[in-house]
Amino acid sequence: MSLKTDPRILRTRNLLLNALFELLKDNDINDISVGEIADAATLNRATLYDHYRDKYELFEELIGDMFHSKVTRKFEVATDCTRALQTIIEGTFEFLVEMGLSCTSRSNQSKSLIEVRIQKYLFEILYDYKTEKVKSKTHFELELEATAMSWSIFGIGMNWVHNDSQRSIEDYVDCALKVLQQPLLESKNMDLEV
């Protein structure tokens, strides 16, 4: 049995993740001690260190799990490429709001950790999707496209959260979808004109 699937390890990790999630409702990651996380999980500090380097690694896993489940839950019901991209954009924007990246109560360090994790998972979701659907491109091309799209989605989402959140999420998602699809459409038209 692999350590990643050992039920005892999964249960312990879930206890730690759930404890941190509850503590984050009222505190920033920088204000939470390892002891508080362990106490809330009804475990000892050494157990936390058996599974994670520190509270920040636990925090990154929590953010990654939350983001991944939010986006993939929506993404799995997508029926075509446009709908898939729309659900990724929508899920990202909703997650950015839920994580409170626009509020001043979060420290810059915790915002940075959240942002890095979101961007990484966006890349992975897009790369995996493109690898599965597009067989005519090289690994390098798919990696570059996934990188460009993930940073674009993330950047547009951050712009919405920080500068333009009075617009509805639906309006912003529709606009972002058009912006991301436009280069694809233009390049197809340019190929036809040549």
CATH (one of 1.10.357, 1.20.1250, 3.40.50, 1.10.3470) for 62-193? 1.10.357
Q: Are the C-beta atoms of 160 and 95 separated by less than 8 Å?
A: no
For position 187, what pLDDT does the model report? 44
Which string of b and e fits 176-191 if b means at least 16 CB within 10 Å? bbeebeeeeeeeeeee
Write down the pLDDT at residue 190.
Answer: 40
pLDDT value of residue 45: 95
- 3/24 Cα distance (integer angstroms): 27
pLDDT at res. 191: 43
Would you kindly state where each structural domain of the chain is located, as residue ranges?
A: 7-52, 62-193
Q: What is the 3-state secondary structure (H, E, C) of the chain?
A: CCCCCCHHHHHHHHHHHHHHHHHHCCCCHHHCCHHHHHHHCCCCHHHHHHHCCCHHHHHHHHHHHHHHHHHHHHHCCCCCHHHHHHHHHHHHHHHHHHCCCCCCCCCHHHHHHHHHHHHHHHHHHHHHHHHHHCCCCCHHHHHHHHHHHHHHHHHHHHHHHHHCCCCCHHHHHHHHHHHHHHHHHHHHHHHHHC
Indicate the CATH number for domain 7-52.
1.10.10.60
The answer to whether residues 173 and 89 touch, using CB atoms and an 8 Å cutoff, is yes
How many angstroms separate the CA atoms of 94 and 165, rounded? Answer: 11
pLDDT in tens, the chain (194 residues): 455 678 999 999 999 999 999 998 888 899 999 999 999 999 999 999 999 999 999 998 999 888 888 888 777 777 778 888 888 999 998 888 887 754 556 677 888 888 888 899 999 988 988 888 888 889 999 999 899 999 999 999 888 888 866 788 888 889 888 888 865 554 444 444 43
Longest dimension (CA), the chain: 67
Q: What pLDDT, on a 0 to 100 scale, did the predictor assign at position 94?
A: 87
The string over 61-95, giving b where at least 16 C-beta atoms fall within 10 Å of a residue's C-beta and e elsewhere, is: bbbbbbbbebbeebbeeeeeeeebbbbbbbbbbbb
Asked if 75 contacts 88 with a C-beta cutoff of 8 angstroms, the reply is yes
